[in-house]
Structure 1
Amino acid sequence: MRKLGLPVPPGFTISTKVCDIFYKNKKKLTTKIIKEIKKELKLIEKESNKKFGDLKNPLLVSVRSGARISMPGMMDTILNLGLNDKTVLALASKTLNMRFAKDSYRRFIQMYGNVVMGVEGHKFEE
């Protein structure tokens, strides 16, 4: 899509082979894979002029699962990875909108809780 001139944010793909390695390695990423991920994040930071974890101009990323065939509704997504108690303040400052920043953080916590920690969605509504 980028080659067609469409506005596509920078990103990279982590293959299913990495997932296999993760599970074979007692749910830990190898040092080599971590270095590759950090290298790719640095490229995104350079292109976006933002930095992951920065307290003034934080880079927020989305993590999306995928499959070789389309499976609508079956794939997980985590948005706003990079938000925390401190970077949310930077987002509020950049957007001049605290409500937006806190709502983005809330959505991140819900998605992370559901996808990574297995917390059922209705628990966030209680």
Structure 2
Amino acid sequence: MVNLLGGKGANLAEMTKLGLPVPSGFTITTEVCTHFYNNNKFPNHLEKEVKKAISRMESDMGMLFGDEENPLLVSVRSGARKSMPGMMETVLNLGLTTKTIPGLIHKTKNERFV
């Protein structure tokens, strides 16, 4: 499973399978990367699957991605078979925009946090 999901993705999948509390999320497999390298485009099904996964996360979290009043923010983490701290890119707070900031400030009552 590590070859398909990377170390972090495989560990999260195993923890989910065991019923441990894991934040809602999804993993895009290495097959997608291979397809992109071989075809210079993403697989046709990817956009539909990602939208479905985001919809499930929205339901789990009770928030909506891009919503101005109750925005869902996500992190995007890359993974590899072996742990390489600091070597892989991470994108935090994806979904934080000029439109979602006011809603998050109102929700948290903490402008500095946002």
- State the alpha-carbon separation in 1 of the partners of residues 38 and 47 from structure 2: 16
Higher relative contact order (CA 8 A, sep 6+): 2
Residue of structure 1 equivalent to 2:112: 99
Residue of structure 1 equivalent to 2:31: 17
How far residue 17 of structure 1 moved from its aligned partner, in angstroms, is 1.4
Q: What stretches of structure 2 of length at least 5 have no aligned partner?
A: 1-14
- State the alpha-carbon separation in 1 of the partners of residues 97 and 105 from structure 2: 12
Query: TM-score normalized by structure 2?
Result: 0.78
Structure 1 stretches of 4+ with a deviation exceeding 6 A read none
Read off the aligned partner of 1:29 and give its amino acid letter: F
Counting aligned pairs with the same residue, the percent is 55
Residue 49 in structure 1 maps to residue 62 in structure 2: yes
Query: TM-score normalized by structure 1?
Result: 0.71
Residue of structure 2 equivalent to 1:89: 102
How many residue pairs get matched?
99
How far residue 90 of structure 1 moved from its aligned partner, in angstroms, is 1.1
Structure (1/2) with the larger helix percentage: 1
How far residue 64 of structure 1 moved from its aligned partner, in angstroms, is 0.2
Q: What stretches of structure 1 of length at least 5 have no aligned partner?
A: 102-126
